[in-house]
Amino acid sequence: MRKQRQMRKRSLLLLLFIAATISSAQVRSPVPVLCYHGFAEDTMGVTGKLTEQYARFEDMLRFLARSGYQSVFPEEMQSLPEAISRPVVITFDDGRKDQLRAAEMMHRYGFKGIFFIIPARIEAESDKSMTPTDLRQLVALGHQIGVHGFAHQSLPSSQEETDASVSTSIERLTSSISGQSSFPNFAYPFGHYDTATYRRTAGVYPFLHTVNPGYWDGVSNLLPRMLITSDNPGDFFKTYVLGSTEFQPVLELVTANGSTADRVEFRSLEPMVIEHAELLSVSADKDGYHYAIHPAAPALHIEGSKVMLNLSGHLQRYYHDTRTVISYALVERRERGKIVYLSPGVMHWVVR
Ligand SMILES: [Zn+2]
C-alpha cells in the first residue's frame, strides 16, 4: 500500500517535472526577425530605397547587446541552450557590397547574420554586389549565406525562377564559396509566394523567410520578418524587438496564406473589440517598401468566432493603384504607440 502511494507520489513528481520542463521551454518569447537591405553613411536623398545608416545600425546592435539579445540561425532554435532567453534572427537581402561593413560591425558585437544572396548576380569583380571573395569572408566571420531566389524574380509569376531556385541556386552558391556546405535558409524575392511556390521551396529549404510583419514562433518553416530601413521612425525597431515578449495573437488564419482572395477569414480564439483593430501592412511601389497602419473596423465583420476581413475594400480605401500590398497583420495600438499583434503576419500580394 505504502509502496503504491510512493509510486504514485513519484509519478506525480515526474509529471510535475515534465510540466515544468514544458512550461519553461514555452517561456521563451517569439523571435524577432530583422531584415536589412542597403547601407549608407548618410541616407538623405535615398528615402524609400531600403537603406539604413551605418550609425543607426550600430545603435541597434548596441541596443540588442545591452538588452541581452543573442543572434541565432533558425536551424539552431530546436537545440538552443536555455541560457539564450532572447534570441533574434538578423538577415540581409540582395547581396549588396555595402553590407560587408555591417557584417564586420556585427562581428565586433558578437552577432551573426544570414546574408541572402542572388546566385545569378555573383560576379568575380564588382563594386555593387558581393563577389566569391566577399562571400568567403562572410562565412569566415561566422555569418551564413542564404538563398534569395535565383535571379530575383517573383516566384509565383515565374516558373523559370521557381525551377532555378530549387535546382540551380545551391549549386551556384556552393561553387562560389567554400566553408558552407548546407543552405537551410531561403528568402522569397519581394516576399512573394503562393501555395504552389511554397510547396516547391519547402521541399528543398527547411526555413523560408517572408516579409510578413510579425514574429517567428521558433518552429514554423515560414518566418515573418520586419523590414528595417532609415524610413522607419527611430523607435520602430525597438518597439518591434521588445514587443515579442507580448506576442499572443488572438486570431488564427482560416483561409489560405498567400492567397489573392478579396475576403480573408480568421478564427477568433478570444473575444476581441474590432473597433480598435488596425491593419498594419507592407506595401511596395517603385520607390521601395513602406509600412502603414489604417483603421480596420469598417472592413471587418464578426459572426461568432468567425472574423471576416474585406481586404479589397480596405485596399481601395487606402492604397493607390500603383502600390502593391505584400503582407499584413491585424494589430491594436496601445499607449505610446506600442503595437500589439492580433493576428500573425499574412501574405497577400496584388499585382495591378
Ligand atoms: Zn530582394
d(CA 274, CA 22): 33
Residues 102 and 169 in one domain: yes
How does residue 126 score in pLDDT terms, banded at 50, 70 and 90? very high
CATH code, 200: 3.20.20.370
Residues 141 and 255 in one domain: no
144 CA → ligand 1 middle, Å: 17
Q: What pLDDT is attached to residue 45? A: 64
14 CA → ligand 1 middle, Å: 49
24 CA → ligand 1 middle, Å: 37
Residues 160 and 236 in one domain: yes
> Contact at 8 Å (CB) between 266 and 251?
yes
- Domain around 104: 30-246
111 CA → ligand 1 middle, Å: 22
164 CA → ligand 1 middle, Å: 16
218 CA → ligand 1 middle, Å: 23
337 CA → ligand 1 middle, Å: 29
> pLDDT for 287-320, tens place per residue?
777 888 999 999 999 999 999 999 888 988 998 8
How does residue 324 score in pLDDT terms, banded at 50, 70 and 90? confident
Residue 259 has pLDDT above 90, yes or no: no
CA distances from 311 to 107, 259, 292, 317 (A): 42, 11, 15, 10
94 CA → ligand 1 middle, Å: 5
Residue that terminates a domain, selected from 185, 215, 246: 246
105 CA → ligand 1 middle, Å: 22
197 CA → ligand 1 middle, Å: 16
Residue 337 has pLDDT above 80, yes or no: no
Burial class (CB in 10 A: 0-12, 13-18, 19+), 125: exposed
Query: Considering the domain boundaries, does residue 47 fall inside one?
Result: yes
Residue that terminates a domain, selected from 219, 246, 273: 246
User: Structural domain tally of the chain?
Assistant: 2
Residue 237 has pLDDT above 50, yes or no: yes
148 CA → ligand 1 middle, Å: 7
Query: Considering the domain boundaries, does residue 45 fall inside one?
Result: yes
How does residue 347 score in pLDDT terms, banded at 50, 70 and 90? confident
Residues 90 and 182 in one domain: yes
17 CA → ligand 1 middle, Å: 46
277 CA → ligand 1 middle, Å: 30
Ligand 1 ion: Cβ-proximal residues, 5 Å cutoff: 93-94
| Mean pLDDT of the 216-223 span | 93
Residues 98 and 150 in one domain: yes
Report the DSSP pairing between strands 277-285 and 324-333. antiparallel
CATH code, 288: 2.60.40
189 CA → ligand 1 middle, Å: 5
208 CA → ligand 1 middle, Å: 13
247 CA → ligand 1 middle, Å: 27
Residues 282 and 222 in one domain: no
Residue that terminates a domain, selected from 203, 220, 246: 246
19 CA → ligand 1 middle, Å: 43
Residue ranges in the chain assigned as alpha helix (H): 2-27, 54-66, 99-108, 132-140, 159-176, 195-202, 236-243, 311-318
| Mean pLDDT of the 35-41 span | 91
Residue 21 has pLDDT above 80, yes or no: no
Sign (positive/negative) of CA torsion 13, 17, 23, 24?
A: positive
Q: What is the chain's mean pLDDT, rounded?
A: 87
335 CA → ligand 1 middle, Å: 34
Report CA 87 to chain centroid distance, whole Å: 13
Nearest alpha carbon to residue 67 among 226, 247, 240, 211: 240
Residues 50 and 189 in one domain: yes
Residues 88 and 209 in one domain: yes
Residue 46 has pLDDT above 70, yes or no: no
85 CA → ligand 1 middle, Å: 30
Query: 12: which 3 cell numbers?
Result: 506525480
Residues 128 and 262 in one domain: no
Residues 202 and 329 in one domain: no
Residues 203 and 270 in one domain: no
How does residue 149 score in pLDDT terms, banded at 50, 70 and 90? very high
Residues 208 and 73 in one domain: yes
151 CA → ligand 1 middle, Å: 10
d(CA 86, CA 332): 24
Q: How much is the pTM?
A: 0.87
